[in-house]
Structure 1
C-alpha cells in the first residue's frame, strides 16, 4: 500500500510539472533566457531551427526517469548493505566440515551467522560470497546442504547478485511498464531453475526437492535483489514443479499488465515519432540507413 501511495504521488508530481511547465516558462524571466539559450545551442538540429514544445516535457520525462534509476539503485544498494551488516553482527566461527571442504575446494568464501531462521544467499559484486545461518544447518541434512551450496556456487560463478541488482533497478524504475516487472520475475525464476539444474548434477533431484520442501514454509529474506536467496517463497512451487516435470508451469502475464504496458509504450512512441519528425535528417547519418517507407512516414 505504501509503495502504491508513493507511486501515485510521483505520477501526480510528474503530471503537475508537465502542466505547469509552459506557464512557468512564459512567466519566469530566468527560464526565458534559459530557453532562448537552448534554442541557440540545440535549435540547429530541428526544422526551421525551432525546438518543438513537445521537446520540453519529453526532456523532463527523461530526466525524471534518470533520477528514478539513480534513486532505485541507491535504495537497493543501501538496503542490501544494511541487511548484510545486520546479519554480520552475529557471525560465528565456521565449524561445519562440509562447508570447510566446500570453501577449500572451490575457493568461495562462506560466512556463518548465528540465526535460528534458515537463511542462505549469495551476495557481492566483485567477488561473490555465500552467507548461511546456523538455523539452515540445523534444518537440512548433509546431502541437502551440499545441494544448496552447489546451487549458490552457480550464482557465484554467474555473478548473479550484480545482474539481479541491475535488473531490479531498471524494473523498479520503469514501474509504468508492468510487463517489465513480470519479465524481471521470469528472469529470476529462470536463474533459480538453472542453478537448481546445476545442483542436481552434483547431487540428485530427490535431495534438492527435499530441501525445497523443508524450506517451503520459511519466509523470504530478500530485502533487495542484490542478493540471490535460496529461500524465495514466491518461486518455490515453480522451482519444484520444474525439477519433477520437464514441462513445469511458469507464471503468466495477465491482460491488465499487457494493456497498461502497451498503452504506455504507445504514448511514448507517439511522442518520439513527433519529435523525430522535427529533426533535420541531414544532421543525422543514421536516418539515411532507415527503410525508405519509414523515412516517408516521418517526412524525411
Structure 2
C-alpha cells in the first residue's frame, strides 16, 4: 500500500505540472511565432480577457508563463551549484579514518558513506545524480553498532531510490506553481511516505524495529533546531519523526490522507473562473 501511495503521489504531482507546462510551452511558442492556437487553454484565456476589455490581464498571463519557466530554470541551476558547493565543503570536514571504517563494516566497501567531523548527530542522503550518505562523528558517538546499522540501511534506501532528486522535483514544482496549492500538499505527504518506506527497509534488514526505534528516540532527545541546508537531501530525523516512532510501536497505525480543504477550495474556484472564461469565449 505504501509503495502505491508513494507512486501515486509522485506521478500525480509530475502529471499535473507536465500538463500545465505543456500548455504553457505551446502558448509561449505560438505567442512568439504570432500564431493563434485556439485549442490551447491559455490562448483561450488570453483571447477572452482581451475581448472583455482587460488588456492588462493578457500581459499578466504572459508574465505568469515566463515566470514559471524562468523560476524553474533558475532554481534548477542554483540547486546544481549548491550540490557542487556541498561536495567541496564535504571534503573539507571529512573524517577519513571513520569514513573508511564505516564503509568497510556497514557498506562492504561501496564507499558511498561519508563521515564528517561534527558534534551534532547528523544522518542524511544528499545529491541529485550521485547520492551520498552523510553521517557525523556525533552520530557515531551517540548510537551503538546495531542502531547505526539501522540508520545506514534507512539512508541506503533513500540513496538507492534517488529520493533526494524526487523530493527536490516535487519541492521545485510546488514552489514554481504556487498558484496550484495541491502540489504543496503532495510534496509534504510524499516526504512522509518515503520515510515510512525507508524505515520498513531498515527493519527488514536488521530483523526488527528495536534498533531503529532506539536510534529515533536517541535523536529525538538530542534534537536541535535543524540548520538550513539548501542542497537537495533527505534527512533521517527531520520528517514526521513522532509519527514514525508511533508506527514502530504499532505498525497498524496508518497516516490518514488528509483532504487539503484550502487547496481544494482554491482549485475549485480557479476551475469555475476558467470555465466561465471558456464559455464567454465560446459565446
Using the size of structure 2 for normalisation, the TM-score is 0.71
SS at match of 2:120: coil
After superposition, the Cα gap between the structure-2 partners of 1:140 and 1:265, relative to the gap in structure 1 and judged at 3 Å, is farther
Judge conservation of contact 1:162–1:226 (CA < 8 Å) in 2.
yes
The number of residues matched between the two structures is 236
Which 10-residue stretch deviates more, 211-220 or 150-159? 211-220
Structure 2 CA distance for partners of 1:153 and 1:117, relative to 1, 3 Å: same
Question: SS at 1:73's partner residue?
Answer: helix
Q: Kindly indicate whether residue 234 of structure 2 is the aligned counterpart of residue 239 of structure 1.
A: no
Distance 2:141 2:81 in 1: 30
1:108 is displaced (CA, Å) by 4.5
**Residue of structure 2 equivalent to 1:285:** none
1:130 has 2:128 as partner: no
Q: Can you give the 5+ residue segments of structure 1 that lack an aligned partner in the other structure?
A: 1-36, 278-297
- Of the three residues 131, 152, 174, the one matched with 1:171 is 174
Per-residue CA deviations over 1:210-247 (Å, capped at 9, x if unaligned) read 11111112443462471111120x41112222322212
CA distance in 1, matches of 2:210, 2:194: 20
> Which residue is 2:235 aligned to?
229
- The two structures, once aligned, show a CA RMSD in angstroms of 3.2
Greater relative contact order (Cα < 8 A, sep 6+) = 2
Q: 1:214 aligns with which of 212, 215, 218?
A: 218
Q: Does 1:42 align with 2:35?
A: yes
- Change in Cα spacing, 1:175 to 1:62, as seen in structure 2 (3 Å) is same
Per-residue deviation at 1:104? 2.4
Among residues 89, 97, 112, which one is paired with 1:109 in the alignment? 112
Structure 2 CA distance for aligned equivalents of residues 76 and 40 of structure 1 = 32
1:199 aligns to what? 202
Q: Where has structure 1 moved over 6 Å in runs of 4 or more?
A: none
Unaligned runs of 5+ in 2: 1-29, 51-57
- Cα distance in structure 1, aligned partners of 2:130 and 2:249: 33
